[in-house]
Amino acid sequence: MNRWKMTLLLLATLTVVLPACNRKMENSALKTEGTEAPGLSAHAAPSTEGMPRHDLMEVIPPSSSSAQVPKQTAMGVPKKALQLQDTFFDYDKALLRQEAKTGLIEDAKALKEHPETKVTIEGHCDERGTTEYNLTLGNRRAEAVKRYLIDLGVAPSQLSTISYGKEKPFCSEQSEGCYRENRRAHFVSPGAEN
């Protein structure tokens, strides 16, 4: 009888503890479901004091960088992953470039072929500007990608957005080339290592 009580106590403890282990903590990230974060101004100007302005408008070629979105079979074994390309942005902009739209058309086709796939679109910025401003700009970038994919026929239920601003740079050097790589929207699938 005592053994049964111990077993039940152990099971009750595990049902409370294990789901808590699965939660992901978001550090200074702005999570969105189609709303603006309170207190953040989309019109605040970034601090670019002392930054050279001569090469900020150069054309950036499309990147081969991509996110892998793993598929799961009924047995939990990953199938071939979708390859979704990062979308890059001009300095202090959230407008989609033509080459970004071309890449997103391919991403939309893949997502429509796999309606069970859900992805989070992460908005990122380079290190220039305040944390608050970059969180807002990252949100605008992620939302621009989401809106375009929905316009192309991807189900809104497949897409969510989050902004990391300048908190998760892809490249940490202080150079214009590195800044270009950090101004992006990046696709991740919940539970995938990206």
110, pLDDT greater than 70: yes
- Average pLDDT of the chain, as a whole number: 72
The DSSP secondary structure of 138-188, one letter per residue, reads HHHHHHHHHHHHHHTT--GGGEEEEEEETSS-S--SSSHHHHHHHSEEEEE
pLDDT at position 176: 87
pLDDT at position 13: 57
Torsion angle in degrees (nearest 10) through CA of 148, 87, 186, 178: -150
pLDDT at position 111: 95
pTM comes to: 0.59
At position 132, the amino acid (one-letter code) is: E
Query: How many CB atoms neighbour CB 130 within 10 A?
Result: 14
Residue 99 burial (CB < 10 Å; 0-12/13-18/19+)? middle
Domains of the chain in start order, with CATH, are: 27-36+60-188 (3.30.1330.60)
Radius of gyration of the chain (CA): 20
57, pLDDT greater than 70: no
Alpha carbon distance 166, 141 (integer Å): 13
Alpha carbon distance 90, 126 (integer Å): 10
Strands 159-165 and 119-124: parallel
Question: How far is CA 138 from each of CA 35, 58, 97, 107, 160, rounded to the nearest angstrom?
Answer: 13, 21, 16, 20, 13
pLDDT at position 10: 57
Question: How far is CA 60 from each of CA 172, 173, 176, rounded to the nearest angstrom?
Answer: 19, 18, 11
Q: 161, 120 in Cβ contact below 8 A?
A: yes
pLDDT in tens, 152-170: 999 999 999 999 999 988 9
